Amino acid sequence: MSRLLLTLSEATADAALSGDTFDEVFLWTSGGRTTFTGSTGPFLAELGAVNPVNVDLVRIALAVFASDRSILREQAGSSWNNRDFDLTVEVANPSAWATQSAELSTLIGFLTGDHWSFTFTQAQSAAVAPLALEEQHHGRTVLLSGGADSAVGALMSALELGEGSSQALVSHYSFTALSPIQRDLVTAIEAAVPGQTQEHHQFHLSRAGRRLDGTAFRNESSSRSRSFLFLALGLAVAERADSILWIPENGFASLNPPLGPDRRGSLSTHTTHPRFLRGLSSIAIAAGGHGAIENPFEAVTKGEMFKRLAAAIGEDAASSYLSATNSCSHTDGRYSGAPAGSSCGVCFGCLVRRSAFDASGVVDTTTYLVDDTTGQFVDFVKGKSIVEPVRDFIHRGVRPRDVMAMSLPVGYLAQDALTLCQQGVDELRGLVG
């Protein structure tokens, strides 16, 4: 079992290090020594006086994300091992979180595929209380990652709210090439709905590369808990905005049936799974915080999302807007000489994206490394390609037994999930065959 601590106190961090009680110690401060990057502090002061429960939720999510990245897995594929985490987090209200500990352990285990246990201890108060900023009410808060689904959601939300309204857009990035993509999408939304205010919150918050003693953290590349942090930050903004939080993701990807028996590990994710979203909402509300979450595209495919956007703004505008997004699962193409933010074209995210363009009839002008004719990226693309596993998956199809293993939440009908997955497979078949 790996024992880990997230503290806001340098003294507590130093005592934990000298006592050799924890395998990893994470320190989050607004300045000075810290094990995190970015300007966001542990009290979210830039947002104003956020509900302490939602502040706590961000601390918990950041601790989970840092732990997930710092403890290596033994193998991958079908041998992907389950890790054991014993995580201590300093929060404003330990008793409120203690009542949710069991549910939280189960939910985060569902997300990462590991075993989690949580201990909550009292955090120090802010040296200066956050300012009570002016009212920040918005019609809706939308997560904007820079991917195609979130871009569709943000623009469709803006069009639905209409002129004279406002919405909050929340972005998070660790890879800096995503930052300008996110900003450019906001600019495009402002141009599409000129009489509406777009309040864009961009968070650059991640674990740093080195521990407090200067040694390098280990890096586990399969981290699947980033979405938990993204959602927690979104809920904090939505709490101040007094609005629901939209996390736009096509329903097929959310259900994410595994491609095969050897793909149940790092390539199968529950980041927007209906069970995870409903569970997180329930825990946040039960703890006394803001937890209103909705995926407005839970019941449709990515191709259907693209069709709806094209119907709303026209096919040419949809082509330009969607082609400027990034859905690629890999950010390391730059090490092979590719431009920052390049798309490989052969990972699962790229294949679903390309199939959605084909299914919707919207022209895809994205540059994919797989289409490069110079030969410079052949080895990189070959190492990232899952075209053959996807082709095998398409030929096998999604069966009722697969759906029954999806851990659907109460109220989500198995037949609906099966129909949606079959529609998603049909879209992929149009591209991969």
Burial class from Cβ neighbours inside 10 Å (0-12, 13-18, 19+) for residue 11 reads exposed
3-class secondary structure, 358: helix
Is residue 108 a contact partner of residue 87, using CB atoms and an 8 Å limit? no
Would you state the CATH architecture of domain 141-294?
Answer: 3-Layer(aba) Sandwich (3.40)
Residues of the chain with CATH 3.40.50.620: 141-294
Amino acid (one-letter) located at 242: D
Amino acid (one-letter) located at 76: A
Q: Which residue has the higher pLDDT, 249 or 330?
A: 249
Each residue of 8-22: pLDDT tens digit? 999 999 999 999 899
Each residue of 375-396: pLDDT tens digit? 999 999 999 999 999 999 999 9
pLDDT-derived band at 136 (thresholds 50, 70, 90) equals: confident
Each residue of 226-268: pLDDT tens digit? 999 999 999 999 999 999 999 999 999 999 887 765 444 334 5
DSSP letters spanning 237-276: HHHHHTS-EE----HHHHH---SSGGGSSTT---TT-HHH
Share of the chain above pLDDT 70, in %: 95
| Strand-pair category, 206-207 with 166-172 | unpaired
Task: Tell me the whole-structure pTM to 2 decimals.
Answer: 0.94
Q: What share of the chain is helix, strand, coil (3-state, %, to 5)?
A: 45, 15, 40
The residue among 2, 59, 3 whose CA lies nearest residue 36 is: 59
